[in-house]
Amino acid sequence: MSRTEKRTRVREAWILRKGGSWASSFSLVVFLLLLVAAHARAAAAFPSVLIFTGGFLEWSRGRHRLRNRRYRPLRRDIEAEVGFARLQMLLALVFLGGALVGSPPWIVGLGFTTTLFLLFKSAALSSPLSKKEEKQSLLKQTAAEECGLIGRWAENASRVRKVPGSGLILGAAYQRAPAEHISALRYVSMMALYCACASYLFTGVALGVTTVAPLPSPRVPSSIGLLLIGIGSSQNDEESDSTPTYAELCEEIRNPLSIGHQLGPLFHRDGAIKAGCATEPFRIADTGTWVSAGDCDGELRSLAVSAPGYDPEIIYGTPARFALAAAHAGQLVGLEVAEPNDGDVYLVVTRDGTFAFARPTRSLEQGPEHPQSCSEVGGQARPFARLQPVMVNMWSELMQLREEWVWPKPRSDDSQIQAFTDTFDASRVAEGSCDGSERCWIESGEESWSQEGSGFVSLIELSTYMPATGG
- State residue 355's pLDDT score: 92
Instruction: State pLDDT tens for residues 156-177.
Output: 777 776 677 767 766 666 666 6
Question: What angle in degrees, to the nearest 10, is found between the helix axes of 104-135 and 184-212?
Answer: 160
CA distance 27 to 171: 36
Beta carbons of 174 and 142 less than 8 angstroms apart = yes
CA distance 341 to 351: 30
Listing DSSP states for 104-119 in one string gives HHHHHHHHHHHHHHHH
Task: State mean pLDDT over 370-384.
Answer: 75
Maximal C-alpha separation, the chain: 99
- State residue 10's pLDDT score: 58
| Low-confidence winner among 3-7, 241-245, 409-413 (lowest mean pLDDT) | 3-7
Instruction: State pLDDT tens for residues 30-53.
Output: 667 767 776 778 888 899 999 999
Task: State mean pLDDT over 121-130.
Answer: 82
CA distance 73 to 75: 6
- State residue 335's pLDDT score: 92
Q: What is the number of alpha carbons within 13 Å of residue 374 lying toward its C-beta? A: 24
Query: CA triplet 368, 372, 374: central angle to 5 degrees?
Result: 85
Beta carbons of 460 and 347 less than 8 angstroms apart = no
- State residue 326's pLDDT score: 92
Decide: helix, strand or coil at residue 441.
Answer: strand
Contacts 24+ apart (CB under 8 A), 225-233: none
CA distance 202 to 6: 44
pLDDT at 287 over 50: yes
- State residue 223's pLDDT score: 39
**pLDDT confidence tier of residue 136, bands split at 50, 70 and 90:** confident
> What pTM did the predictor assign?
0.50
CA 423 to chain centre: 34
Report the percent of the chain where pLDDT is more than 90: 14
Please name the amino acid found at residue 68.
Answer: N
CA distance 361 to 142: 67
Task: State mean pLDDT over 234-240.
Answer: 43
Report the percent of the chain where pLDDT is more than 70: 75
CA distance 378 to 373: 10
- State residue 239's pLDDT score: 44
Query: Which has more pLDDT, 446 or 91?
Result: 91
**What does the DSSP 8-state code read for residue 340?**
B
| Low-confidence winner among 176-185, 329-338, 359-368 (lowest mean pLDDT) | 176-185
**pLDDT confidence tier of residue 470, bands split at 50, 70 and 90:** low
Most confident range (mean pLDDT) of 124-133, 304-313, 441-450 is 304-313
Neighbours of 392 (CB within 10 A): 25
CA distance 106 to 93: 16
